[in-house]
Chain A
C-alpha cells in the first residue's frame, strides 16, 4: 500500500477470550502458552490474540482463515457484536471498545454496514424495505430513504424487484439485497462476513466480480471475511491470514502467493490456481521498439529489422496505442512507394489491462500469434505479454 492512503481503522492488541475469567487466560497467553494449553488449564477459549492491523481508506481487505481461526470473531469485534476482551479499535478518532451504549449505537450507524453469510434479510419486509432498514432506524425521512434504497438496489442490479419479498428471490439475488441494504446506509466501512460462501460457485464468481467493480467505482472501505483462499486472492487488495486467533501474514495476494510467511501459508497456497492471481503486469515485458503513426514504411521496416521483429506496435504522439503492423504488409507498401502506414494498421489486436489475471490472457494466444499488449486506462502501451511468459508462470504451480 502506498503511504498516500489514509488509515481508516487501526486495530491494536485486540484479544478476545470466551469465558468468565478472561484475565487469567490472557496472563497465561503472555506467559507463552498456546490456545490449546490455555483451554486445557482454564476452560477458556482464546478466540483472538494480539491482533494488530490497519485498514486503509478505500481498500478491500480480506481476512482469511479456516473455521475456528477467529475470523468471524474478529469482524464482530470491530462493531462489537462481540465484546473484545482487550485492545483498541480506532475509527474516526473514536476507540470502539471504550464507547458507551449510546455512542456505540451512533458509531454503528455511521461507520458500519454488514453483509451476512446467510443474508439475514428481514422476511417480513419487501426488498425495498430491507434496503431501507439502516436509514429507517436512523430516522431519515421517507422520501429520502426510498430514493437512496432505490439507488442502491439499482447498483446491485435489482431494479424492478422492490416490492418482492426475500423468499421470492434466489440466493444470489437475496445477497444482492443484503449488499443493497449495506450500500444504502452509506456508512464508511462495509463488513462482509463470508458474504458469498452460501452461494453456488458460478454465482459466487459473478458476485466477486461485481463486488470488485462496485468497490472500484465507490472506493468503499471493505473488510471481507472468507475461508476460501481463491476468493481472497481474487478480490483482495490485501489479505490478512488468520490461524488459531493470530495473524500469520498480511500482504497483497501476490506476496502471499509468492512469499508465503511460513509453511502454513505455503501449504494453503499450494493448491491455488495461479492463473487467477498472477496479473499481466507481473509477466509483461517492456516493448523494445514501437513505430509512430507518422513514420513512413521504410522507417518502420528499419526499426523492425533492428529489433528482429515480425510485427510492431504503432503509437501516436501521446504514446497511445493505435494498432499493430506486420512486416510483410509494410514491405509491400514500401515497394509500392507509399509513404504512410496508416492503412496497414491492424486494430483488432489482443490487449488487456495491467491487472488482468493470466487466466483471461491464456485463451488470447490461440490462433494468431501476436503477443498481448498491456495498456493502461489512457490506452498507453505498458508492455507485452508473450505466450512463453504465461506458460512459465503457470508451470510454477506447486513449487513450494
Chain B
C-alpha cells in the first residue's frame, strides 16, 4: 500500500493569506495600531494620574453604590493589597487593556449579535465562526497579531478582542431571540417598524442577558490580556511571565492573586450593574 496522498498544505495557505493581509493592508493595520495605542496611552495616563488612594476610594464608592457594603469593603481590601504588593502600575496597565478590548469587542459584537437575531441566514453563518473563535487555543491568535500590529499592547488587544467577543455576540442574539413572542406580536400589531421594534422592545428586554454577555466578555478579556504578555502586552501578565522565566513562584503568585482580585471585582461590579437594571 503506497498510495502517496500529498499532505494538504493548510498551514502554508493560511500563512500566505496572512502575508497577503499584512502587506496589502499595512496602511490599515498601522492606522488601527496608532489609534489603539493612543487610546491605551490616554486611559493609562489618566488612571495613573490619579493617586492610588483616590482611585481606590472611587472604586469603593462605586462598589458601594451598585453592589452594597460588602463589595465596597472587598474592593478596599483587595486594591489595598495590590497597592501594598507594589503591583499597582501593572494592575492599571492590565485594567486599561481589559477596558479597551472590551469596548472594542462590544462595539463589534452588538451589531453582529442583533443581525444574527434578526436574520436566520446570518445566524447559521456566524455560529460556526463563533465556535471556531472560542475553541481555537487562545495562544494561536497571538501569532498573526505580531505581523499585523507588531510586538506590544496593540497585538495583545487584537488577540483579546477576537477571543473575548463571541459570548457578547451569542448573548446579544440569545437575549433578543428570547423576547416573548406575544410582545413581538404586540409591537407588530401596532405597526412598529423593524428598528422601532428593536430599539423600543427587543433591546430593552434583552438587556439583562446582554449584560451577562458583557460580563463574560470582560472575564475572558482579563484572562487573555494576561496571556498576551507573551507578545509583549504590559501589565500583570508580564509580571507572571517574568516570574516564570526567573523561576520565582512567590512573585508569580502575587501577580496571579492580583489578577484574581481584579477578576472578582469586575465580575461582581458588572453583575450588580445588570441586576439593578433588571429590578425596574
| Residues in A lying within 8 Å of B, measured CB to CB | 79, 81, 105-109, 112-114, 116-118, 120-124, 133-134, 136-138, 165, 181, 185, 191
Contacts and interface: CB of A to CB of B under 8 A. Distances in A.
B26 interface: no
Contact of B191 (A121, A134, A181): A134
B193 A137 contact: yes
B186 interface: yes
A79 B205 contact: no
A191 B200 CA distance: 22
A145 to B, nearest CB: 13
Contacts of A106: 191
Contacts of B280: 124, 165
Contacts of A113: 189-190
Given A114-B185, A121-B186, 9 more contacts: A79-B189, A105-B191, A108-B188, A113-B190, A114-B186, A116-B185, A120-B180, A124-B205, A124-B280
A256 B120 CA distance: 47
Contacts of B190: 108-109, 113-114, 133-134, 137, 181, 185
Contacts of A185: 190
27 contacts: A79-B189, A81-B189, A105-B193, A108-B189, A113-B189, A113-B190, A116-B182, A118-B182, A120-B183, A120-B186, A121-B186, A122-B183, A122-B186, A122-B201, A123-B205, A124-B204, A124-B205, A124-B207, A124-B280, A133-B190, A133-B200, A136-B200, A137-B190, A137-B196, A137-B200, A165-B280, A181-B190
A120 B185 contact: yes
B192 interface: yes
A137 B189 contact: no
A79 B193 CA distance: 15
A182 B84 CA distance: 63
B188 A81 contact: yes
A191 B180 CA distance: 20
Contacts of B201: 122
A137 B186 contact: no
Interface of B: 180, 182-183, 185-186, 188-193, 196, 200-201, 204-205, 207, 280
A163 to B, nearest CB: 12
Contacts of A79: 189
A117 B180 CA distance: 13
A122 B197 CA distance: 11
Contacts of B204: 124
A136 B192 CA distance: 10
A120 B183 CA distance: 5
Nearest to B205: A124
B74 to A, nearest CB: 31
A107 B191 CA distance: 8
A125 to B, nearest CB: 8
A91 to B, nearest CB: 14
B162 to A, nearest CB: 33
A82 B193 CA distance: 17
Contacts of B185: 81, 114, 116, 120
A185 B193 CA distance: 16
Contacts of A120: 180, 182-183, 185-186
A136 B187 CA distance: 11
Contacts of B207: 124
Contacts of A105: 191, 193
A138 B205 CA distance: 21
Contacts of A123: 205
Top 7 nearest A-B pairs by Cβ distance? Answer: A109-B191, A108-B191, A120-B186, A114-B189, A120-B182, A134-B190, A124-B204
Nearest to B277: A124
A109 B187 CA distance: 11
A71 to B, nearest CB: 16
Contacts of A109: 190-191
A121 to B, nearest CB: 8
A87 B31 CA distance: 59
Nearest to B189: A114
A134 B191 CA distance: 8
A120 B187 CA distance: 9
A112 B188 CA distance: 11
B79 to A, nearest CB: 35
Contacts of B186: 114, 116, 120-122
A306 B190 CA distance: 65
Nearest to B196: A137
A353 B280 CA distance: 48
B208 to A, nearest CB: 10
Contacts of B189: 79, 81, 108, 112-114, 191
A193 B181 CA distance: 15
B72 to A, nearest CB: 29
Interface centre among B180, B183, B201, B204 (most CB of A within 10 A): B183
A81 B190 CA distance: 10
B200 A138 contact: no
Contacts of B192: 137
Contacts of A118: 182
Contacts of B193: 105, 137
A76 B200 CA distance: 22
A122 B204 CA distance: 10
Contacts of A117: 182
Nearest to A124: B204
Contacts of B183: 120, 122
A397 to B, nearest CB: 38
Nearest to B185: A81
B278 to A, nearest CB: 10
Nearest to A119: B182
A109 B188 CA distance: 10
A50 to B, nearest CB: 25
Interface centre among B185, B186, B204 (most CB of A within 10 A): B186
A113 to B, nearest CB: 7
A106 B186 CA distance: 15
A113 B206 CA distance: 25
A138 B191 contact: yes
Nearest to A182: B190
A17 to B, nearest CB: 21
Contacts of A136: 200
A270 to B, nearest CB: 34
